[in-house]
Chains A and B, each alone.
Chain A
Amino acid sequence: MVFNSLEFLAFIVVFFLLYFNLKGRFRLWLCLIASYFFYGMWDWRFLGLIAVSTVIDYQLGLKLENENNDVKRKNYLIISMMMNLGFLAVFKYFNFFADSFAVMVEGLGMVPSWNTLKIILPVGISFYTFQSMSYSIDVYKRAIPVERDFIKFATFIAFFPQLVAGPIVRASEFLPQFDREIKWNWDRFISGTGQILWGFFKKVAVADSLSLVVDNAFFDPMVHSSMQLAIGVIFYYFQIYCDFSGYSDIAIGLARIMGYDFPDNFRTPYFSKDFSEFWTRWHITLSSWLRDYLYISLGGNRGGGFGSVFFILVFMAIPIALTRSWIIIGACAALIIGTWLYMKQGDKNRKTAYNYMNLMNTMLLGGLWHGASWVFVFWGFLHGGYLVVQRLIGPYFGAFMRFLRIPKFGQAGINIAIVYFFTCLAWVFFRAPDFTIAMEVINGIASFENFNWANVTNKFGIASGFMLIGMLLFVEITDLKVNYAGLLQRSPAFRVVSFATILWIIAFFGTFGANAFIYFQF
C-alpha cells in the first residue's frame, strides 16, 4: 500500500476517523495496529521480523537501563547491534555478498557449489533497523531514558507514516511526543494538508513524470543521443529528490495532523555550495544518523584508530579481489604508502589522514546502506572522494576565485554548478543497474554525438519535465522569502487557491498508477 494509491486514501480516512474519536491507550493501540496492517499489506510475512526486532530491542533496552556492570551493558548493546545488523545482513545483503564471493572464488579457478537463496527484501528494513539501533545506542550511552511502555516503543518502531522510507526519527525526538495530549487541531490540519499536497505534487507530478524520461535513458543508453542522456541524468537528480522528499513531506504532514512533529529531511539540496553542505540538506536524518553513530564513533575529525583503517582496507580489498586489476592494485598500494608516509610526518597529519579515512568510510557504508550493489558503494566512494578532495583543494579554489575578483554571487553560482555537476555524475552510478550501463551513459554524454534538440525523443515529456522543475524551483525559492506555510494559516483565500492549484496541476501533470517510491527498495 503506497501513499499514492486509492487503498491508502481509504485507509487514512478510516484511520483518522477512529484516531480522533479515541483517546489515551486506545489511540496508541490504534496506531500500532494500523501500522502493522499498513506494513502487512506489503507482505504479511515480514510482520514477524519487525515484531521480533521490537521485542528484543525493548527487552535489551530495559536490561541496559537496569544493569550497572559496564561489560554486561556492552554485551547487551552488542546483541542488539548483531540482531539488527544480522537482519540486514541476511535479508538485504546475503545474496549480494554470496554473489560477490562466488565471483572471487571463480576468479581463483574454483567452482562455488552453493545456490544463492531466494530472499525477498523486506520493504523499509534499513529505516526501521536504524531507528531501532539508535534507540539501543542512546539508551546504552544513557543519553535517553529507557521506554518502559511496550506499546509506545512498538509504535515508535512501526509508526506507519515513516516506517518504510523515513524520515529516520530518533527515540529522543519521538517517544516523548506520545505523552502529549493530542486533540484535533485545525492549524495542524492545514499545515499538514499543505505539506501532504506538496509531497504529492513532488511525487506524482514531478518525480513520476520525470521517471518516464529517465527510465528511457537508462534502459538502453546506446540508442540515445548525447543530449537525451544528459537530460536523463539532469532529470534523475530532480526525480530522486522529488520522489524521496515527496515521501518525507507526506509522512511529516500525516504525522503533523496526528499531532506529532518530525524533523525535516531535505532543504533545497540543489543549492548546496559545497559537498559538506549538500549532506546537511540531503536526507538529513540519515546523514545526521551516520554522523552521530558512525563518523563520530570512528573518531570523526578528532582522529581515528583500528576501525578507520580496518574499514578502508576492507573496501580496498574487495574491488581488488573482484577485478584483480593491476591498475586498482597499484592505485590502492600507492594510496596506502602515500597515506602511511604522510601520517609519519606528525600528529597533525595523522589526525588529518584519519579524518579523511573516517569520511570515506562513512560515505562507503552510507552507499552500502542504500542497496546491496557495488554501484551504490561506488556512489558512496565518489561522495567520500568529493568530501576529501574538497577539504584538500577547496581553500585554494576559493582563493583563486577571489584572486580573479569574481563577485560573491558569481562564486556561489560557480560552486553550486560544480556541486550539481559532480552530484549528477554520482547519481549516474546510483541509478544505473550496473557499471556497464553507467559507463555507457557517461561515455554517451561525453561523445557529444547528436548533441542537439533534433535528436531528442519524447520532446513533450522533456518539455513538461522542465516546466514542472521550473514550478518546483519557483515555489521552493520564493518560499525562502514568502514563507508559504505561514501564509496558509493566515489567509483562507490563499489556502483555497493554492490547494486547488496543486490539485489541478496533479490532475493535469500527474503520473498515476501507484508507482512505488524509489527509497522503498532501501
Chain B
Amino acid sequence: MKHIFWIIGLIALFFIGDRVGGYVLEQIVLKSKFRYSRLYKGEAKADILLVGNSRGLSFYQPYMEEMTGKSTFNVSYSAMPMTLAEVFVNDYFDKYGKPEQMLIDVTICDRDNPQLIAGFNAYSAFSPRVDSIVTATEKTVGYGGKFSHLFRYNGEIFQRSVFYLNKLDNNWLLDREIAQRLKDDLINVDTPSVKLVPRMVESLQRTVQYAESQGVDVKLVVSPYYKPFAEKLTNLDAMIAQVEKATNKKVYDYSRSMERSDDFGDYQHINIKGSRTYISLMQKDGIIPDKNQKIGYSD
C-alpha cells in the first residue's frame, strides 16, 4: 500500500509542478520584448509591417525607421514558412488594424517548417490561431502542450523570448562579413535553386488579398543574395514569375542588385552594413517611402 502512496504523490507533484512552472514561463514570455511577445501584449503598432524568413531580417529595423521616418514591425524569423507568417499577420490586423504598408520577401515561400511551427507552441496560450496551426502541423506537440504546460515552452522560441526579456530584438541581423573560405568554396557549390512550396504560395496569395482588401499597400520583393551565388541560382526568374502569376502583383527583384562582398554575411544574407545599401535601393525605386513621404497605394 505504501508504494501506491508514493506513486500517487509522484503524479500529483508532477502536475502541480508542471502547472506552476508553466504559469511562470507564460509570464516570462509575456514580459519579454521579443517581437511576438510585443505583438500579443499590444506593443507592436507600426506603419510598416515587414514579413519574411531570415532574409526578411534584411529589412533592418533601425535603418529602416531612420531612413523612412516610419515605425516598423518585423515578424520575420529564420526559416519561417509563409503559413506561420500568415497567422502573425492576421493576428496583427485583428489587434492593431491595418498598417500603412506591408513588405514581404517572397522567398519565404521556399519551405514548410513543421519543427519551427511547433516551437511557436510557446505562444499558443496567447493566440487561438497559433494553437490551431501548431496542433494541425504537429499533433503530438499540440496535445503534448495541453498535457504538460512545461512542454509548451520546450524550444528555441521560448529561449529567445528569455534572451529578449529586457532588450529589443529589432537589430537582429548578421554583423559579420562573408568568410573568405566560403567565397573560395563557391566554385564547389552545386547549382542551387529556390523551390517554392505550392501551399506557401497559396498562403502568400491569401495574405496579399486580405491585406489589399483592407487597403494596405503591399510590396513583394526578393532581397539580395551574394551576387556570385545569385548568378548560380538558375530558377530565380521562373520563381519570381510563379509568384507574380499567383498574386497578380509585381515582385521587385533585388537578388543581384548588390555587388560588394562586404555587404554580405553569407551567400544568402546581407549584413548590417549591407542593409543600409539595400534600404537605399528600395527607397530609390519608390518601394518604401523617403522620410516624411506619405505611403501611397500603388503598384
Known: A500-B17, A503-B14, A504-B21. A450 touches B179 (CB 8 A): yes
Asked if residues B21 and A222 are in contact (CB atoms below 8 Å), the reply is no
Q: Hey, which chain A residues are within 8 Å of B9, CB to CB?
A: 492, 496
Q: Chain B residues with Cβ under 8 A from A507's Cβ?
A: 18, 148, 150-151, 154
Q: Is A143 an interface residue (CB 8 A)?
A: no
Contacts of B6 in A (CB 8 A): 492, 495-496
| A178 at interface, CB cutoff 8 A | no
Q: Among A447, A461, A463, A513, which residue has the most Cβ atoms of chain B within 10 A?
A: A513
B181 in complex: contacting residue of A222, A459, A461, A496, CB < 8 Å: A222
Asked if B3 is at the interface of the complex by the 8 Å CB criterion, the answer is yes
- Residues facing B in A489-508 (CB within 8 A) are 492, 495-497, 499-500, 503-504, 507-508
Closest CB in chain A relative to B38 CB, distance in Å? 19
- Say yes or no for A455: interface residue by CB 8 A criterion: yes
Task: Determine, out of B84-92, B97-105, B156-164, the stretch whose residues face the partner at the interface.
Answer: B156-164
* Given A460-B163, A464-B159, A492-B6, residue A449 in contact with residue B154 (CB < 8 A): no
Which of A186, A449, A512 makes the CB contact (< 8 A) with B140? Answer: A512
**Contact A510 to B159, CB < 8 A, known contacts A223-B182, A225-B179:** no
Q: Which B residues touch A459, using CB under 8 A?
A: 163
> CA A4 – CA B148 in complex, angstroms?
17
Q: In the assembled complex, which residues on chain B have CB atoms less than 8 Å from the CB atom of A496?
A: 6, 9-10, 13
A108 at the interface (CB under 8 A from B): no
A454 within 8 A of partner (CB): yes
| Residues of A302-321 whose CB lies within 8 A of B | none
* Interchain CB contact under 8 A, B176 and A447: no
Contact with A along B159-182 (1 / 0, CB 8 A): 110010000000000011001111
Alpha-carbon distance A459/B162, docked complex (angstroms): 12
CB-CB under 8 A from A447, the residues of chain B are: 181
Q: Which residues of B contact A186 (CB under 8 A)?
A: 3
Which of A6, A449, A461 has a CB less than 8 Å from the CB of B156? A461
Interface size for chain A: under 10, 10 to 19, 20 to 34, or 35 or more residues? 20 to 34
A504 touches B17 (CB 8 A): yes
**Quick check: is B285 within 8 A (CB to CB) of the other chain?**
no
Nearest B residue to A186, CB-CB: B3
Give A431 to B185 CA distance when docked, in angstroms: 22
Interface residues on B, range: 20 to 34
Contact A222 B18 (CB under 8 A): no
B-chain residues with CB within 8 Å of residue A513 when the two chains form the complex: 140
B-side binding surface: helix, strand, loop or mixed?
Answer: helix
Among candidates B14, B144, B159, B175, residue contacting A504 with C-beta atoms closer than 8 Å:
B14
A449 neighbours in B (Cβ, 8 Å): 179-181
Q: What residues on B are CB-neighbors of A222 within 8 Å?
A: 181-182, 185
B266 at the binding interface (Cβ < 8 Å): yes
Which one of A444, A495, A500, A510 contacts B14 once the chains associate, using CB atoms below 8 Å? A500
Measured in the bound complex, the distance between the Cα atoms of B140 and A50 in whole Å is 34
Which of B154, B163, B176, B185 is A510 in contact with, Cβ under 8 Å?
Answer: B154
Find chain B residues with CB under 8 A from A497 CB.
Answer: 13
Distance (Å) between the CB of A453 and the closest chain B CB?
12
Contact with A along B175-217 (1 / 0, CB 8 A): 1100111100100000000000000000000000000000000
Q: Is the CB of A508 within 8 A of B176?
A: no
Q: Tell me the bound Cα distance from A496 to B10 in angstroms.
A: 5
* Residues in B neighbouring A101, C-beta threshold 8 A: none
CA distance A509 to B151 in the complex (A): 8
Whether, in the assembled complex, A458 has its beta carbon less than 8 Å from a beta carbon of chain B, the answer is yes
Which residues of chain A are within 8 angstroms of B148 by Cβ–Cβ distance? 507
Q: Is there a chain A Cβ closer than 8 Å to B36's Cβ?
A: no
Binary per-residue interface labels of chain B (124-154) against chain A in the complex, 1 for a CB within 8 Å, 0 otherwise: 0000000000000000110010001011011
Chain B residues positioned under 8 Å from A454 (CB to CB): 175-176
**Complex CA distance for A495 and B8, rounded to whole angstroms:** 12
Chain A residue at minimum C-beta to C-beta distance from B180: A449
The distance in angstroms between the C-alpha atoms of A503 and B151, with both chains bound, is 10
For the A-B complex with A460-B159, A497-B13, A508-B150 known, give 17 more contacts whose Cβ atoms are closer than 8 Å. Answer: A186-B3, A223-B266, A449-B179, A454-B176, A458-B156, A459-B163, A492-B6, A496-B6, A496-B10, A500-B10, A500-B13, A500-B14, A504-B18, A507-B148, A507-B151, A510-B154, A512-B140
Give the interface of A toward B (CB within 8 A). 6, 186, 222-223, 225, 444, 447, 449-450, 454-455, 458-461, 463-464, 492, 495-497, 499-500, 503-504, 507-510, 512-513
Task: Provide a sorted-by-A list of 8 A–B residue pairs whose CB atoms are within 8 angstroms.
Answer: A186-B3, A444-B181, A460-B163, A500-B17, A504-B150, A508-B150, A508-B153, A512-B141
The 6 closest A-B CB pairs, nearest first, are: A460-B159, A507-B150, A507-B148, A492-B6, A507-B151, A500-B13
